[in-house]
Structure 1
């Protein structure tokens, strides 16, 4: 009798998990239907990358987003539009985010992501770009500058994590990156729990500033909670400390580049003194601006400051081409079930 009850219980649990998996997949597909890709695709490093492009002129500007979000974060902040007034600007979905692929064929370290982006930039005819990175995207930007110097002419680093420190969020989210167990979580309870936690997490990212409606519209929760994007976020969280360890001894090499560091004074995600201020001390020629009243999403509260940092690197005192903003081309048919 007891074994029968166990069997029935296991069957009921399996049925419940199967139902959750179907709902999670349906939610992900609905999010993609409601928010189709708005840019172009390019194949590089054996994967397909999605990117937004606008503007003309030079030097070109490349925008790399942080964890959990996608390229549209820069559109919502206004940085994309500001940069496009005077430059050719490209905002990439990093591998695994938005509509960029992230196959299981390699560890997606900062260096691996930078290698794919370097190939994409070369194919697009982009050299010596001003690379803007936010949060986790700063690690990719740094790896790009250090390992592919021909691709980078300057760095604008926003709310970055540069030096290894203990982080509770890594331990919390990393299990969803594990094989088998992580897959089970991501396709069942993970997105459902994430939907409950997402509003608080987003508020923390923006605090003490409010969450702007433009962000919620451009980076909807449904897109962030697709199982394959949860996987990318979890893998990046797990790789964050090792990425900083791998890069930290090489920061002195960046003295050859103009580097602008910007951080929110009230950042609740990354300690700006232990990260941004310390990096400024490590890179002798860098500049540091700490913005009071803003937190981790500093580019949303101070897009003009980011634009000024780009222009300071671009060619101070030299004429820039007149603004000519082009609309992004609608992307081809897509499939992103890769996680």
Structure 2
């Protein structure tokens, strides 16, 4: 039984913790997250319908788009968690595309996109995201909706791209201080499954993951007054870790609250019947949150 619990929690944490950040990023990376967008934005040239591979900085990036754009409405960009790919978001994208223009993409090292040339950092991941947004959104406003690692990337990206990112939905996003959280929750003196979990996650922070992302903690920076909805899991799956499960759950909840500093318009809610994959366990919660943020972002954009 213990082995089964351990396997489930390790798998979940692999996704949640990888959500923490991107490779080789120290404080300097956070400050230099792709501050300049490319000059050319080409969303109006051959809009993508379905799945297509595009070139971004000489790398092949797998992109999927669906739904018809409405005037003044933001483009929704879905961002998958660590160890996942855009196909896992397919059902959510299909539902959202009934009312919105929705896109998703595989990050380098994930799904059908090219492998990264080497370790990735926040700046590099940001440039790839910018290139994708240039192609699928052009000058239109964007709402980023990210799960786990995707949520952390979205939250790190938004403060430096206020002219473009007009709303955020973070679905059980990795804590901005995940490395510190896990080292405090599971001490170096731990033994057994908890010790293994600690070691595995710290290795992932150092880049031993499919995307070669080196995870670094950082402060939450403000993205202004954009609408932000932070959704945390309600089922305490981390509690399955022997001895230290309660600490992990408390650290995770604290990490979700830290994301509220993103905006004066941030809100925190709990998906009561969901584990880490909120958009799969309670898709209606994710859809309603994205609908609300998109509507508010559209109103704010029209008022400016």
Q: Does TM, normalized by the shorter one, top 0.5? A: yes
Q: C-alpha distance in 1, partners of 2:204/2:261?
A: 36
Instruction: Please name the residue that 1:34 is paired with.
Output: none
Alignment of 1:129-144 (within 5 A): 129-144=142-157
Q: C-alpha distance in 1, partners of 2:136/2:112?
A: 18
Structure 1 unpaired stretches of 5+ = 1-37, 183-229, 320-339
Whether contact under 8 Å (2:64, 2:103) holds in the other structure is: yes
Instruction: Please name the residue that 1:63 is paired with.
Output: 78
Give the drift of 1:86: 1.0
TM-score normalised over the length of structure 2: 0.64
Q: C-alpha distance in 1, partners of 2:104/2:200?
A: 29
Q: C-alpha distance in 2, partners of 1:140/1:93?
A: 13
Question: 1:282/1:155 Cα in 2 relative to 1: closer, same or farther (>3 Å)?
Answer: closer
Match of 1:255 among 224, 238, 242: 224
Structure 1 runs (4+) deviating above 4 angstroms are: 167-170, 173-179, 316-319
Instruction: Please name the residue that 1:287 is paired with.
Output: 267
Q: C-alpha distance in 2, partners of 1:121/1:173?
A: 30
Pair member with larger Rg: 1
Instruction: Please name the residue that 1:153 is paired with.
Output: 166
Give the drift of 1:266: 2.1
Instruction: Please name the residue that 1:90 is paired with.
Output: 103
2:247 counterpart of 1:231: no
Whether contact under 8 Å (2:226, 2:263) holds in the other structure is: no
User: What do the CA deviations read for 1:37-82 (whole angstroms, capped 9, x no partner)?
Assistant: x72111112311101111012321000000111101111xx31112
TM-score normalised over the length of structure 1: 0.58
Give the drift of 1:286: 0.6
The alignment of Structure 1 onto Structure 2 pairs a total of residues equal to 220
Alignment of 1:190-229 (within 5 A): none
Q: C-alpha distance in 1, partners of 2:229/2:205?
A: 32
Whether contact under 8 Å (1:79, 1:304) holds in the other structure is: no
Q: Bigger shift: 61-70 or 117-126?
A: 117-126
Alignment of 1:295-306 (within 5 A): 295-306=275-286
Alignment of 1:117-132 (within 5 A): 117-126=129-138, 127-132=140-145
Instruction: Please name the residue that 2:3 is paired with.
Output: none
**Coordinate RMSD, CA, aligned:** 2.8
